[in-house]
Amino acid sequence: MLAGSLAGVPRTADAAIPHRSFVGPGVTGYGDAAQLGGPGGASLAAPAVGVAALPNGAGYWVATADGGVFTYGDAPFLGSLGNLHLYAPIVGIAATPDGLGYWLVAMDGGVFSFGDAQFFGSLGGSPPDHSVVAMAVAPGGLGYWLLGSDGSVHPFGTALDLGSAAGVALAGPMVAMAATHDGLGYWLVGSDGGVFSFGDARFFGSAADADIGTWVTAAAATPDDDGYWLVGATGGVLTFGDAPFEGPSPNQPPFSPTEAMAVTPDGRGYWLLRQDEAATGFSDPAPTAPGYPEAARVIAAAAGEIGPDPDASEGRFCNPYGPCVEWCALFAEWVWNQAGLGVPEYEFTGDLYDWLSDNGSVRSPTSRPVPGDGVFYGSGPEDTTTSVHMGIVAQVWPDGAIDTIEGDSGPEPDGMYAVVLNGPFLPAESAAYNGAPIYGYAHP
């Protein structure tokens, strides 16, 4: 991240660093959305990825990437995939109109139904070459749409094919979809805040040309279809049409990363799912790496640091892991040394990669990483324009998707970055998902 390095002897494991985690319930209600709890008090085996509410607003479900389902308020538990080993991570959950069932959708387009949710088909048997990122439900729960990161729309059951953004030059990958309540239209939303409307879904504006200082992670339509909300990764909410603003403001504290949104029946409130507020152990899939016995210790050390930077108030890019400089490499080095691996202190990610090339195990960007690897973003280790960032691989899914833990990362204000959970995402989509491709993996 910074040119130059502080070459020296390998660092020994430091004493435990006091670190503030993102404190909160994991699901936060705004407006008339009741605070009913969340996974913030639990230890999850995989990241929380989706939230869906009962039609009466008296409860909600939270889904995790390994297929776990957690219930709050009056939401009934109708089953989960927590006892199965999934091929691809779950990316979302959607409820049936009567609240007596729900679907889980996986990144490869697999669909799993519970309660009175009917199965109308999936893409799991012939996965697309892009991520499936969202699901929307057709009227009466008699069908659903799946949204691909490339803007493709896949209808099943009574869900109508009303068009897609496939083939459009997108400024960012698609991240969310919302359908009109008569099923004759839908909106597609990109990470850049772009909004595409189809059928009778009306366009009320977008954030594509606004300087919101973050990226969009979620969206939802108002009950009357006369507006919609977009949610920034920093947790800020943007309103369009008649969607009311109930907080929080974009780029204002708290900056706990936000993953998903659910809306109350009257549209006067909503819940936001904050992924990093739940302790995640990254145990499903388990962090096994043949020939790398320290992998589990590496991931445990990294996961224990997820949270905001406690030293940022002392100056720009101040952090607990080294000098006041951009510190993603310093964080990775600290993590590896906590696990008993001797790594010198380098500030620049490219210098660290070069050292690992000579002293560790290096993999190409098209190879399969192992948990505990460092993931290096950019086009190569030559300089700060080609080696721009790095993190630690925390989970590797059978389909190749990964979860990472990254220091000096966002969403946070510039110079006040955090240790955050990133993913799940497909490495081949990193350029669109993260803003830079992956040029290699390595560990000591």
Domain-embedded: residue 425:
yes
Whether 116 and 176 share a structural domain: yes
Whether 247 and 369 share a structural domain: no
Domain-embedded: residue 157:
yes
Whether 411 and 380 share a structural domain: yes
Domain-embedded: residue 345:
yes
Whether 381 and 252 share a structural domain: no
* Gap between the Cα atoms of 388 and 259, Å rounded: 24
Domain-embedded: residue 21:
no
Domain-embedded: residue 14:
no
Query: Could you read off the pLDDT tens digit of each residue along the chain, which spans 444 residues?
Result: 222 222 333 333 333 444 556 778 999 999 999 999 999 988 899 999 999 999 999 999 999 999 999 999 999 999 999 888 999 999 999 999 999 999 999 999 999 999 999 999 999 888 888 999 999 999 999 999 999 999 999 999 999 999 999 999 999 999 999 999 999 999 999 999 999 999 999 999 999 988 888 899 999 999 999 999 999 988 889 999 999 999 987 666 656 789 999 999 999 999 999 999 999 999 999 988 888 999 999 999 999 999 887 666 777 888 889 999 999 999 999 999 999 999 999 999 999 999 999 999 999 999 999 999 999 999 999 999 999 999 999 999 999 999 999 999 987 766 678 899 999 999 999 999 999 999 999 999
Domain-embedded: residue 11:
no
State which of 273, 294, 309 marks the end of a domain: 273
Whether 194 and 101 share a structural domain: yes
Whether 373 and 405 share a structural domain: yes
Domain-embedded: residue 22:
no
Cis amide linkage into residue 320, ω under 30° from 0: no
Q: Residue type for 212, please?
A: I
Whether 304 and 206 share a structural domain: no
Q: Considering only CA atoms, give the Rg of the chain.
A: 21
Q: What is the CATH number of the domain that holds 363?
A: 3.90.1720.10
pLDDT at position 410:
82
Whether 106 and 252 share a structural domain: yes
pLDDT at position 15:
39
Whether 174 and 311 share a structural domain: no
pLDDT at position 2:
29
Whether 338 and 259 share a structural domain: no
State which of 273, 296, 330 marks the end of a domain: 273
Determine the structural domain holding residue 342 and report its residue range: 282-443
Whether 62 and 170 share a structural domain: yes
- Number of structural domains the chain divides into: 2
Q: What is the CATH number of the domain that holds 269?
A: 2.130.10.10
Whether 265 and 325 share a structural domain: no
Kindly report whether the global pTM for this prediction surpasses the value 0.85.
Answer: yes
State which of 273, 301, 328 marks the end of a domain: 273
Q: What is the pLDDT of residues 267-287, one digit of tens each?
A: 999 999 999 999 999 999 998
331 touches 321 (CB < 8 A): yes
Domain-embedded: residue 70:
yes
